């Protein structure tokens, strides 16, 4: 059975005004001033405790008495004491005010003290597994008071329904309802294995892609991810013929590494393989440049300390993790004409496979 929002004692009565509305009209400042006078024993000391003048305390208490229609203090030139009604009001109010003060202190400590609490983070499956999850160990060591719950999901994030604090999103940000902080650009690279490149060549143009075997990725919506290429001021979308389609980015990558076809993949997935020579890339001049990896959250205002330190930590470490290829054309971007020429003129050495041969040749001048 669910707990009612308000206790029965403050539900509207058919015989009188709504007590909840009455409590809203009562000044909280007046209640606090009343508690201070009751604790300190006079109006002057209560003013010193609250950091206001004696007359301001007196006016607040007087207003409260007028709202209640009850005298709370007996005032003389020598002393201030509670009336019977004042004593009853104090006994009932003091625990509630103490809880409010404690709640305010707790919120202030959460914001200004050491970061603590529970943090629910969502990420796409590939980026979460490759990038976010490995960084969580260092984050938790640096912030032992924060517990992190990482959800991997390629679908859209519902911050409210899923209770998500921070979400990693890829691509183009079109949701104006969230704050999106761009961490790094999202480079999309057309890649193949050296074995595939040696056997089938590489596309010399975007139109040539349709002559190759693709490995496709199925989005959470069920649609096939369309490869995009920048041709001047416009984007051209390509959906190549594919013998293999996966709804997992890591399986797409593995199929390309195994030589089953070509695929357009994010740089964070392939950068290590490009440096190692287990993948080669082509058509970098047509790679789209309007995508990014983003940290998203609902509001910049009153961010809890646990969210601020997480956003700062992830931004710093992702930007410094080498997830992008160098800006200058690297050795692993092969030109198809040159590759086809050398593939015909040079035979592999004994004990050397095609992958080793293509990887060693890729350092030649373009």
What confidence tens digit (pLDDT) does each residue in 166-200 have? Answer: 999 988 877 667 888 999 988 899 999 999 999 99
What's the whole-number average pLDDT of the chain?
A: 81
Q: Which residue has the higher pLDDT, 145 or 112?
A: 145
pLDDT of amino acid 110: 66
Average pLDDT over residues 315-330: 71
pLDDT of amino acid 149: 94
pLDDT of amino acid 102: 82
Between 7-21, 27-41, 219-233, the lowest mean confidence (pLDDT) is in 7-21
Average pLDDT over residues 136-153: 94
Q: Torsion angle of alpha carbons 235, 228, 239, 207, nearest 10°?
A: 70
**Bridge partner list, 118:** 147
pLDDT of 146 > 90? The answer is yes
- In terms of pTM, does the model score above 0.75? no
Between 211-215, 260-264, 320-324, the lowest mean confidence (pLDDT) is in 320-324
Q: How large a percentage of the chain has pLDDT more than 90?
A: 40
Number of residues that make up the chain? 366
């Amino acid at each position: 059975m669910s707990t009612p929002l308000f206790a029965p004692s403050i539900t509207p009565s058919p015989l009188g005004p709504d007590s909840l509305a009455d409590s809203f009209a009562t000044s909280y400042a007046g209640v606090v001033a009343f508690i201070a006078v009751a604790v300190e024993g006079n109006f002057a000391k209560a003013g010193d405790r609250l950091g206001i003048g004696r007359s301001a305390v007196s006016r607040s208490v007087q207003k409260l008495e007028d709202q209640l229609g009850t005298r709370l203090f007996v005032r003389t030139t020598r002393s201030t004491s509670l009336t019977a009604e004042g004593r009853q009001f104090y006994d009932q109010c003091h625990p509630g005010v103490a809880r409010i003060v404690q709640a305010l202190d707790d919120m202030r400590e959460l914001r200004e003290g050491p970061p603590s609490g529970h943090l629910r983070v969502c990420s796409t499956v590939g980026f979460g597994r490759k990038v976010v999850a490995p960084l969580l160990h260092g984050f938790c060591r640096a912030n032992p008071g924060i517990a992190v719950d990482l959800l991997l999901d390629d679908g859209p994030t519902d911050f409210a329904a899923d209770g998500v604090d921070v979400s990693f999103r890829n691509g183009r940000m079109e949701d104006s309802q969230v704050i999106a902080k761009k961490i790094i650009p999202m480079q999309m690279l057309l890649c193949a294995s050296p074995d595939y490149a040696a056997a089938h060549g590489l596309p010399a143009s975007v139109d040539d892609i349709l002559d190759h075997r693709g490995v496709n990725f199925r989005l959470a919506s069920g649609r096939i991810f369309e490869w995009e290429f920048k041709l001047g001021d416009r984007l051209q979308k390509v959906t190549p013929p594919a013998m293999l389609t996966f709804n997992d980015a890591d399986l797409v990558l593995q199929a390309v590494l195994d030589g089953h076809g070509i695929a357009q993949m994010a740089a964070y997935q392939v950068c290590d393989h490009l440096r190692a020579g287990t993948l080669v890339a082509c058509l970098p001049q047509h790679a789209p440049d309007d995508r990014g990896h983003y940290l998203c959250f609902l509001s910049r205002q009153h961010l809890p300390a646990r969210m601020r330190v997480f956003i700062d930590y992830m931004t710093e470490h992702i930007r410094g993790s080498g997830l992008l290829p160098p800006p200058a054309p690297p050795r692993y971007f092969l030109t198809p004409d040159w590759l086809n020429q050398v593939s015909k003129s040079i035979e592999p050495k004994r004990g050397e496979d095609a992958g080793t041969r293509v990887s060693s040749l890729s350092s030649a001048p373009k």
